[in-house]
């Protein structure tokens, strides 16, 4: 490893560690001030962030950045500011009868220095959403953003340095080597958002230091279409969920499970909905580009592989596109031998798998790795309850896509290969806190009766305890 890089990272970590040791329990006023500065920074530089993200992507719809990168951070900060006093409160906890008159409390304390590794697809939100939770919990923060969004990463480093002292929060830019060295630091908590493959390496690096990790990964998130659904409404919502950010969203619907007799009608409705939302693609400011040339090449490879293996490709538009824009495609007659059905797509391609019986569809979901998101469309309440009880997923939206991610009063996180741990709202505060149990013994305590020398009294008391607990 480059020694200069090693020293730089460790000096930054030690700077923040020293500052934390000098202020291990920041007051609510201090935390509110840090959150307010994050909010002010976001507001001041929202236009610059929009421009930087558009530059990195080649083209990114302004409205998508304003909604998914800017508003999400602002709303998350406001929610934290509103609830911070309650989150910080030391809670009185129940005490079992046989320990009275002692008492229990639960104190939430900051962990120390939190490392955040953020991805390229929503580069500001996915860096600052965990950061705001860590700051609210009273921690210091180091962020390593993606090297695939260099303009945005450089801007984040600049604006964070303007609004925060380096011992409070700092952005470390650099390539994949910097990222690897970053994950090897002995943080008090490491938060990673990205692919499952890279997440495995991050977890292994953190394990060398026994650093606890939160992994926000991905996977193939299915949309299960029930026969009771409203076909037109379902198609419209699937079209939006799939083409937001040109499909480059960790919770985008990755494939559809559709009753066999509804495959063709639904496919046509989805194509129609996509065409209404995006009448053209070339030159349309609402339709985003693929963020990097290698991702465009990968997606084109998925289409070629699927076609070669017998899939029917249904392009939504008949246009020749320039730059890194990619025509959305629906894919019929797919199977698990195709790469598009084995890899997370992360683009505007939507395979449709037909099924005959609901149990067949549930079995298909359950025999694959557990997804980050699951979508269910229909009006049959019993069928909905059955699907929820017989599947696992990080989170669920019923009769729509993606919107469970925006709920600050619900945890967001994966399960199995799609991640571990959660954040958003109070769950983020708790992720970056140590919930320390405190047992306070009374001056006169019955526990003295259990002291040695042991004899008949001990046996009688233990027998009594077994009856009252």
DSSP 233-296: HHHHHHHHHHHGGGG--TTS--EEEEEGGGHHHHHHHHHHHHHHH-S--TT-TTSPPPS-HHHH
- Write down the pLDDT at residue 447: 87
pLDDT band (50, 70, 90) for residue 222:
very high
In 17-74 the beta strands, taken as DSSP E runs, fall at none
pLDDT class of 194 with cuts at 50, 70, 90: very high
What is the pLDDT confidence band of residue 4, given thresholds at 50, 70 and 90? confident
By three-state DSSP, how is residue 213 classified? strand
Q: How many angstroms separate the CA atoms of 345 and 286, rounded?
A: 21
216 given a catalytic annotation? yes
Q: Give the pLDDT score at 3.
A: 64
Rounded to the nearest 10 degrees, the angle between the axes of helix 28-44 and helix 46-57 is 60
Query: Which of 250, 269, 344, 426 is an active site residue?
Result: 250
Of 338, 342, 278, 269, residue with least CA distance to 308: 338
- Residue whose token pair is 């600050």: 408
Residue 28, burial from CB neighbour count under 10 angstroms (0-12, 13-18, 19+): middle
Task: Tell me what the mean pLDDT of segment 127-151 comes to.
Answer: 98
C-beta separation of 125 from 68 below 8 A = yes
Count other Cβ atoms within 10 Å, centred on residue 314.
17
Which residues, 6 or more positions from 281, have their beta carbon under 8 angstroms from its beta carbon?
A: 287, 317, 319, 321, 325, 327
Q: What is the pTM of this model?
A: 0.95
* pLDDT, position 266: 98
Average pLDDT of the chain, as a whole number:
96
Model confidence at 1: pLDDT above 60: no
Q: Which two tokens stand for residue 389?
A: 């009880």
Query: Distance between CA 334 and CA 226 in Å, rounded?
Result: 19
Catalytic residue among 64, 167, 168, 216: 216
Give residue 448's pLDDT: 87
**Percent of the chain whose predicted confidence (pLDDT) is above 70:** 99
């Amino acid at each position: 490893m480059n020694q200069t890089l090693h020293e730089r990272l460790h000096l930054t970590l030690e700077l923040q560690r020293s500052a934390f040791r000098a202020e291990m329990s920041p007051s609510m006023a201090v935390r509110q001030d840090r959150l307010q500065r994050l909010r002010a920074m976001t507001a001041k530089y929202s236009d610059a962030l929009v421009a930087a993200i558009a530059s990195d992507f080649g083209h990114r719809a302004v409205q998508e950045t304003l909604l998914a990168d800017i508003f999400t951070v602002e709303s998350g900060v406001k929610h934290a500011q509103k609830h911070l006093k309650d989150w910080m409160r030391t809670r009185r906890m129940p005490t079992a009868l046989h320990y009275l008159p002692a008492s229990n409390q639960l104190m939430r304390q900051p962990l120390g220095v939190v490392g955040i590794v953020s991805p390229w697809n929503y580069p500001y939100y996915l860096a600052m959403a965990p950061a705001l939770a860590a700051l609210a919990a009273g921690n210091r923060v180091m962020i390593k953003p993606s090297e695939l969004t260099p303009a945005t990463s450089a801007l984040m480093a600049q604006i964070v340095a303007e609004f925060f002292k380096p011992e409070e929060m700092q952005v470390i830019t650099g390539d994949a080597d910097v990222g690897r060295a970053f994950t090897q630091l002995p943080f008090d908590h490491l938060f990673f958002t990205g692919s499952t493959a890279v997440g495995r390496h991050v977890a292994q690096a953190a394990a060398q230091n026994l650093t606890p990790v939160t992994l926000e990964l991905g996977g193939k998130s299915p949309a299960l279409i029930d026969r009771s659904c409203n076909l037109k409404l379902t198609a419209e919502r699937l079209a939006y969920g799939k083409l937001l950010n040109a499909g480059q969203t960790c919770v985008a619907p990755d494939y559809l499970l559709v009753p066999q007799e509804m495959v063709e009608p639904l496919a046509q409705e989805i194509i129609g909905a996509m065409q209404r939302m995006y009448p053209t693609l070339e030159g349309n400011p609402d339709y985003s580009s693929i963020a990097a040339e290698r991702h465009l090449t990968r997606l084109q490879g998925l289409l070629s592989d699927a076609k070669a293996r017998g899939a029917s490709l249904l392009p939504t538009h008949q246009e020749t596109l320039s730059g890194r824009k990619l025509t959305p495609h629906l894919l019929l007659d797919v199977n698990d031998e195709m790469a598009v059905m084995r890899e997370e797509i992360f683009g505007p391609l939507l395979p449709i798998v037909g099924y005959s019986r609901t149990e067949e569809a549930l079995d298909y979901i359950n025999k694959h790795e557990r997804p980050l998101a699951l979508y269910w469309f229909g009006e049959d309440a019993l069928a909905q309850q059955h699907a929820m009880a017989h599947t696992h997923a990080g989170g669920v939206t019923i009769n729509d896509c993606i919107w469970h991610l925006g709920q600050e009063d619900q945890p967001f996180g994966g399960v199995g290969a799609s991640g571990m741990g959660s954040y958003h709202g109070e769950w983020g505060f708790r992720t970056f806190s140590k919930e320390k149990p405190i047992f306070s013994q009374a001056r006169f305590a019955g526990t003295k009766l259990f002291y040695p020398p042991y004899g008949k009294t001990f046996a009688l008391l233990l027998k009594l305890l077994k009856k009252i607990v």
